[in-house]
């Protein structure tokens, strides 16, 4: 049985006091962390302080692939480890689209993260144009294979895969049960073909397409869905708590 995973991706939201309060409220709640790994991904400027607070583990929303050097604004995996950060997002759709990150850069980031013993939430997903062209399965499979190029099975055990249908994020469109199960099943079969059947059955694949307190229960019941990467609905305690309890 794969342990469920719920990630709260706060993105570039919440002021300092708001972030501290929300993290404290979540950490002090009666959430059952024995049944699911619950991880908060705050803005990087809050990571150091939140990692010192008792409660939930924290993760970074991004990292740079070099260990150190003249990379203004970058954060290295080693630096994240030094503040007890345990997780990191790699390849989020907003990094790919807004910040023009290529599969090659994402691959370097993934390698740096896993080789520094960070647990990675590796994101993949297609646009509406790709979906409408009926090439979505091929597109996502290629994202995966390019992203984990040159990684071995032991390194992949530190990964969680998050499927984000970009076309269903903030558009009012929703992925159907069939669409979600089709993609999650394809991802699991791709893991099996590239690594092993054993890894494909143990690796967690979570959904990240506008999952909220109203649809979470249904989505989490689908085949091959092991939890969610939650955006806007994780910014308020009540809605995020309902998502977690829907597991």
Give catalytic residue positions: 92, 164
DSSP H helical segments within the chain, as ranges?
Answer: 16-27, 47-52, 77-82, 93-97, 103-115, 128-132, 136-147, 153-156, 177-194, 197-202, 216-220, 237-245
Of residues 166, 168, 203, the one with CA closest to residue 184? 203
Return d(Cα 163, Cα 137) in angstroms, integer.
Answer: 12
Is the Cβ–Cβ distance between 214 and 221 less than 8 Å?
no
Return d(Cα 75, Cα 159) in angstroms, integer.
Answer: 19
DSSP 68: S
Q: Which residues of 68-85 are buried (b: 16+ CB within 10 A; e: fewer)?
A: eeeeeeebbbebbeeeeb
Is the Cβ–Cβ distance between 158 and 116 less than 8 Å?
no
Is the Cβ–Cβ distance between 147 and 107 less than 8 Å?
yes
Cα-flanking dihedrals φ and ψ of residue 109, to 5°?
Answer: -65, -40
Is the Cβ–Cβ distance between 117 and 102 less than 8 Å?
no
């Amino acid at each position: 049985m794969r342990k469920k995973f719920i990630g709260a991706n706060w993105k570039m939201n919440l002021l300092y006091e708001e972030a501290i309060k929300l993290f404290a409220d979540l950490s002090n709640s009666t959430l059952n962390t024995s049944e699911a790994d619950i991880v908060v991904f705050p803005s990087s400027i809050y990571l150091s302080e939140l990692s010192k607070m008792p409660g939930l583990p924290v993760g970074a929303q991004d990292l740079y692939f070099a260990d150190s050097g003249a990379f203004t604004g970058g954060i290295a995996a080693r630096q994240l480890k030094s503040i007890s950060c345990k997780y990191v997002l790699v390849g989020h759709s907003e990094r790919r689209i807004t910040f023009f990150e290529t599969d090659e850069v994402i691959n370097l980031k993934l390698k740096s993260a896993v080789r520094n013993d960070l647990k990675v939430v590796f994101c993949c997903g297609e646009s509406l144009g790709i979906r409408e062209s009926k090439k979505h399965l091929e597109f996502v499979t290629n994202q995966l294979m390019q992203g984990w190029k040159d990684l071995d099975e032991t390194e992949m055990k530190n990964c969680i895969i998050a499927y984000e249908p970009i076309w269903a994020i903030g558009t009012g469109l929703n992925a159907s049960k069939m669409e979600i199960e089709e993609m999650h099943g394809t991802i699991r079969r791709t893991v099996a073909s590239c690594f092993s059947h054993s890894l494909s059955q143990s690796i967690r694949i979570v959904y990240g397409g506008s999952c909220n307190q109203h649809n979470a229960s249904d989505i989490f019941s689908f085949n091959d869905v092991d939890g969610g990467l939650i955006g806007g609905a994780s910014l308020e305690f009540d809605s995020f708590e309902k998502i977690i309890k829907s597991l």
